Structure 1
Amino acid sequence: MAILLFGRATAFFVLGATCATGVAAQEAPRRTRIAAGPQLVPRFPGAKGVVVRPFLDFSRVRGDQVFQFEAADESSSTSIVQNSGFAVGPAVNLEGSRRTRDVPGVPKVGFTVEAGGFAQYTASALPMRGRVELRQGIGGHKGLIGVASLDYVARDADEWLFAIGPRVTYSNGKYQRAYFGVPVESVGTSGLAAYRPSGGVHAVGATASYLKQLSRHWGVSTYAKYDRLVDDAADSPVVRRYGSRNQWSGGLALSYTFFGRAN
């Protein structure tokens, strides 16, 4: 089991540790890797500025196996079904709020829990992994968001790992209207033209990550991500005045592996 965590999903670190501990008791011995550091992410979808949030990772594997590849930008998740390279399970992400002062005159977007699932396939003949996620917002934007990714993964066991690949992000009309729309009743208070986006692809981009084991126990990991807003999201008056079509993220973490690296 491996749980990938970011600043938006810090609360699930305890949940992941609890679940993994229960499994380890039945299938010992296992190795545990914990990583922590800072990351810069957009303050909210479509924002021009970035904020510093925790960049956390918690992973466990059998002692004779390498750690499973996890993309730096995927949601917190755990596999409940794994067979012949396929994996399926629940996924959770936390999205911060967009405050009224971030976009004056337009309704704020509250803190959102995005709950859903993922499906992925790791090819045995090629160093590739494809993954799709679909999450429903609970509170906050209340919309539906999905991400499709494809990663090329090069590695030398747990000594080092490099991954890079494209991303396509989809959202429904409710999500896009929350972050990119301008209701008619907000025209007078915001000074923006009324705008009602529909659902569809709202961003395309890529993510690259690198992990390096420095010693038996210590290692480092880093990532960089770029998304470009497209279609209705890119044409939003909110993005044009207060945000940016270019969305950048990046992080750096120090890791510690209990019981050392795999043989």
Structure 2
Amino acid sequence: MTTIFRTASAALVLSLSALGTTPALAQDGDSTTIHNNDDGSDYAVLGLGGAILTDYEGSDDYSFTPVPIGIGRVSGFNFLLAGNRLSVDLIADNFGPGLDFQAGPVAALNFNRSSTKSIDDERIKALGKRKTALEVGGYLGIGQTGVFTSEFDRLSASVSYRKGVTGAHSAGIFTPTVTYMTPLSTKSVVTIFVAAERAEKGYAQSYFGINPQQSEDSGLPVYNARGGWKNWTLGGAGAVSLTGNLRNGLQAFGGVVYRRMLNDFAESPVTSIAGDRDQWLGSVGLAYSF
């Protein structure tokens, strides 16, 4: 379970983004027309997901873990919890169709290689454990509701920056993301997204660098990892109601993400010899809206 929460975040966040649209969906009589009737009321979606993820960042081995999830709105302010990551939007929603701005804090616990028990590759185990890193920062975003398919499809873009303040590294991670969500009916919704990560040198050295002693212990060559663009990802997610509609009750969700490691993060022996620069992540789960 060492790297699960960090690597699961992308798929789970997009799954939850789909679930988070449910309070505003409404339908006229027997028609299939979806209207945005969001009145700004509070709501919450709580659930548990199961994720298939790499043993560590850059690995070609996979394992399964449960991950808690939650999304909601209180007094117009949104919050999102996906595994290890928590964010809060401090700008109250612009309810209904139109332009919306987001800004607020984000925090994550990075468990990457903080234990060797779930890592199959003996060479990576020999590199030693890393401390759990607390990464804190903020994000900015803008979104347009009512774009192509209905009054509630949504196109949004955001950037976030987190910096390690304790543990394995003290470097920053910059993440731009573009997301598109559209409801298919009052019972189902889908989301697609593209994102990238840029990490500073301290992060690269902590997780992808190999010093002479580590090289001797593991058999992997010495490697001096620099900062830069770490990866890009492309993913999709969806949710479907199991009890009538997405506004309340039980629902199932799932997501799949392709991740491509880049530059020194791909060329490091941690990835190029012991792992794989091409990675697939997935999650499924159940959630309850109220």
In structure 2, give the amino acid aligned to 1:254.
Answer: L
Residue in structure 1 matching 2:143, options 108, 119, 122? 122
CA contact (8 A) 2:123 2:218 kept: no
Residue in structure 2 matching 1:113, options 128, 134, 150? 134
CA contact (8 A) 1:44 1:96 kept: no
Residue 218 of structure 1: aligned partner:
250
Task: Specify the SS of the correspondent of 1:203.
Answer: strand
- In the alignment, is residue 54 of structure 1 matched against residue 81 of structure 2? no
Following the alignment from structure 2 to structure 1, what is the Cα–Cα distance between the partners of residues 82 and 194?
13
* Cα drift, residue 247 of structure 1: 2.2
Gaps of 5+ in 1: 1-5, 11-26, 259-263
Residue in structure 1 matching 2:268, options 232, 236, 250? 236
* Cα drift, residue 170 of structure 1: 0.7
Residue in structure 1 matching 2:45, options 26, 29, 33? 33
Residues 213 and 71 of structure 1: CA distance in aligned 2, closer, same or farther (over 3 Å): farther
Residue 81 of structure 1: aligned partner:
91
Q: Report the more deviating stretch, 139-148 or 94-103.
A: 94-103
Indicate the RMSD between aligned Cα atoms, in angstroms. Answer: 3.2
Following the alignment from structure 2 to structure 1, what is the Cα–Cα distance between the partners of residues 160 and 211?
29
Following the alignment from structure 2 to structure 1, what is the Cα–Cα distance between the partners of residues 256 and 190?
12
Q: Structure 1 runs of 4+ off > 6 angstroms?
A: 68-74
Residue 181 of structure 1: aligned partner:
209
- Map Cα deviations across residues 184-216 of structure 1 (whole Å, 9 max, x no partner): 343333322221121110111211110112224
Gaps of 5+ in 2: 10-38, 117-121, 148-153
CA contact (8 A) 2:70 2:80 kept: no
* Cα drift, residue 74 of structure 1: 9.8
Following the alignment from structure 1 to structure 2, what is the Cα–Cα distance between the partners of residues 108 and 73?
21
Residues matched between the structures, number: 234
In structure 2, give the amino acid aligned to 1:76.
Answer: L
Residue 227 of structure 1: aligned partner:
259
CA contact (8 A) 2:5 2:83 kept: no
Task: Specify the SS of the correspondent of 1:110.
Answer: coil
Following the alignment from structure 1 to structure 2, what is the Cα–Cα distance between the partners of residues 62 and 184?
52
Residue 16 of structure 1: aligned partner:
none
CA contact (8 A) 1:42 1:249 kept: yes
Residue in structure 1 matching 2:106, options 91, 103, 123? 91
Task: Specify the SS of the correspondent of 1:228.
Answer: strand
* Cα drift, residue 32 of structure 1: 2.4
Residue 201 of structure 1: aligned partner:
229
Q: Report the more deviating stretch, 46-55 or 205-214.
A: 46-55
Following the alignment from structure 1 to structure 2, what is the Cα–Cα distance between the partners of residues 194 and 247?
24
In structure 2, give the amino acid aligned to 1:169.
Answer: E
Residues 247 and 94 of structure 1: CA distance in aligned 2, closer, same or farther (over 3 Å): farther
Residue 132 of structure 1: aligned partner:
159
